[in-house]
Amino acid sequence: MNTTQTPATGSPAATLQDIIAHAKEYGFVFPSSEIYDGLQAVYDYGQNGVELKNNLKTLWWKAMTQLHDNRDGGPVVGIDASIFMHPLTWKASGHVDSFNDPMIDNRDSKKRYRADQLLELKAEAYANAGDEAKSTALLQEMGRLLGDNDLEGVRNLIIAEGIKDPVSGTDNWTEVRQFNLMFSTQVGSLAEDASLIYLRPETAQGIFVNFLNVQKTGRMKIPFGIAQIGKAFRNEIVARQFTFRMREFEQMEMQFFVRPGTEMKWYETWRDTRMKFHQAIGLPAEKLKFHIHEKLAHYANAAVDIEYKFPFGFREMEGIHSRTDFDLKAHQELSRKKQQYFDNDIDPATGKPFGNYVPYVVETSVGADRLFLAVFCNAFTKEVVGEGDQQKERTYLKLHPALAPIKAAIFPLVRKDGLPEKAEEIMKSLRFEFRVIMEERDAIGKRYTRQDLIGTPFCIAVDYQTLEDDTVTVRYRDTTEQIRIPISELKAHIGQEVSMERLLEKM
RNA sequence: GCGGAAGUAGCUCAAUUGGUAGAGCGAUAGCCUUCCAAGCUAUAGGUUGCGGGUUCGAGACCCGUCUUCCGCUCCA
C-alpha cells in the first residue's frame, strides 16, 4: 500500500503520506499544538486550508439554502446553534445512556467486556445457586460504585469476586475505562455551583430544539429544512487516518421535516441530491458510492452513506438518515413542550386537513473535514512531464477554480522597467472580486510552480508587451497553456471560471 | 485496545564499530534576468520528539513516554 506504483495514466499513485506531507508543507493542515508534540486526532487548518474549507462550507450552504426555496419542494433555512446545550438534550437524544459503558479488557485473551455485565452475570450465578441475598448485595455494591463513578472500585470488585475471563480463564484485567462518547465540562464560574454539561457530539440536536422557533418565526410550512454548520466533539476510541477521524470536527447538517409517511420519498430525493453535489464539485463518480446501512441506529428507519475512495479505501463522507420522529418525540416527552405541527393541507383520503403531528425527519450530514480531505486527496496530482533528459515530476492541486484558496497570481516577468508597478495595478483592480496575490521574486518558472502546489488556477504574467498594448498572458494550471487577453477582460474571464455559480448550476 | 515500523534543519535524507551533527532542495536579503522549480552572492535555520539510564564519550545502545504511519479490532 505504501509503495509508489505507476498506474496506466502514467502518474505515480499518491499515498496518504504524500498527501499529509503536502497538506502540511503548503499550509493546508497542521497537527494541533505541534510545538508541544501535538494532540492526538486534533488538527489545525493553515492559511490555505482555511480558504479551501471555507469555500466548501460556503458552497454547501448555498447549495442547501439558496437552491431550495418555497417554490422548490421545500425551502431550507439556516441556523447557528450553540455548542453548549442543556444536559437533558443528550438524555433525550439517547447519547447519555447509550454511550457510557464501563469497559474492561482481559490482557491474556485481548477481549473486551462491559464491566457491569461481568458483575451482573456473577450476581445471576449467585441467584441461581440460591443465594439471593448475596446476588442483591453485589448488584447494590456495583450500582453504588458506578453511581460514584468509582471505576477502580469496580475493577477491585471484579477481582474480589474472582471473576475470570471465560476465554482465557484468567483475571489479568486492565483498569476499567469509561468509553465516554461526549466531552464534558462545567458551566458556572464558581466551582461549587458549577454543573456538568457536554460539548455537543452532533449538531443535529441544536436544530431539533429550535424546530418550532424556526417554523413559527419563519412561517415555515412542512416540508422544510434547517441547515447548520458547526463544530462537534467526540471521544473516538481509535482516532486515525489523518483528519478523517478527529475529536473536534465540523459538521454540515440539514434536517428536513416532513409529513409522516412521506419520509422515504424525501430520503431518496435527498440521497440523490447530495450525490449530485459531490460530483458537481469535482469528485469523480467512480470514487463515490452509496453504502446502505444494514444495522440501523436507534433513531433511524433507513440510512445510507455516501462513501469516497480515500487512499485508505472507501470510507463514509456523508450520511443520509431517515430519523423518523424519534428526536422530536423524545424532546417533546422530556421537555413537556409540544413539538408538533398543524398541517392545514387537505388529506385527499379524508377530505380534511392532515392536522397535528410530530414531523418525521430526513437528515443529511456531511463532515466538513472529510469533504475537505476527499477534495484534497482528489486534487493532489503528480504527473511526469517532458521527455528524455527533460523529464521531471510535476505536482499540483487540481482543485476546481471555485474552491482554490487563491484564484489568481500576478507575476511581472522581470523586476524592473515598470513591470512590477503594472502588475500591482492589475492586482489592485482584481482584488475586489477575488483573492489574488502578486509575486515578483525568483524566476518565473519557480513562481508558477509555487502556485501549482497550492492549486491556484490562473497565473497572470505581465511582460513588455503589456506596457505597449495592455494585454497579459493567462496561464492555466492544469495544462500550463497560456492565452493572451486584454487586462480589461481579466475580471470577466477569470470571474466566470472561479465563480461558485458555475458549480451550483450543476447541482 | 493489540501487533509492526518510524521520529535528525521548513522538506527529503546522510552521519563507518559509540568519537566535533552534514548535504540537496526550500526559505530570507541583494544582484542578474523576456515565460515553467536549473544564473551569481550572502544569511538564517538543529539541546537529533521528550525524560531517564549505560559510557571517558550517545543521533546511534537500554528503559519509559509522546506523536505519526501500516495491519487487525472498534466505531450509535
Using the structure, give the distance in angstroms from the CA atom of A440 to the C1' atom of B31, rounded to a whole number: 14
Give residue A487's pLDDT band: very low, low, confident or very high (50, 70, 90).
very high
User: How do residues A433-454 score in pLDDT, each as one tens digit?
Assistant: 999 999 998 889 999 999 999 9
Q: List strand B contacts in A 76-135 (CB < 7 A).
A: 95, 98-99, 105, 110
A498 contacts A455 by C-beta, under 8 angstroms: no
pLDDT for the residue numbered A98: 63
Gap between the Cα atoms of A426 and A485, Å rounded = 13
Q: Is the pLDDT confidence value at A174 over 80?
A: no
pLDDT for the residue numbered A420: 92
User: How do residues A5-61 score in pLDDT, each as one tens digit?
Assistant: 333 334 556 778 888 888 988 999 988 888 777 777 888 899 999 999 999 999 999
Q: Is the CB of A453 under 7 A from strand B?
A: yes
ipTM of this complex prediction, to 2 decimal places? 0.85
Q: Concatenated DSSP letters for A256-321?
A: EEE-TT-HHHHHHHHHHHHHHHHHHTT--GGGEEEEE-SSPPTT-SEEEEEEEEETTEEEEEEEEE
Using the structure, give the distance in angstroms from the CA atom of A33 to the C1' atom of B48, rounded to a whole number: 21
Q: How many CB atoms lie within 10 A of CB A216?
A: 10
pTM for the full predicted model = 0.86
Looking at A132-276, which runs of residues are DSSP E strands? 177-178, 184-187, 195-198, 224-233, 248-258
What are A349's three cell numbers?
383520503
Q: Which nucleotides on strand B sit less than 7 A from a protein beta carbon?
A: 1-2, 7, 10-12, 26-29, 32-39, 49-50, 66-76
pLDDT over 90 for what percent of chain A? 55
**Cα torsion through A402, A405, A407, A412, rounded to 10:** -170
Identify the residue with better confidence: A159 or A481: A481
* Cα diameter, chain A: 104
User: How do residues A235-256 score in pLDDT, each as one tens digit?
Assistant: 776 667 788 888 889 999 999 9
Of A65, A105, A45, A178, nearest to A504 by C-alpha is A65
Of A126, A173, A182, nearest to A152 by C-alpha is A173
Using the structure, give the distance in angstroms from the CA atom of A17 to the C1' atom of B68, rounded to a whole number: 10
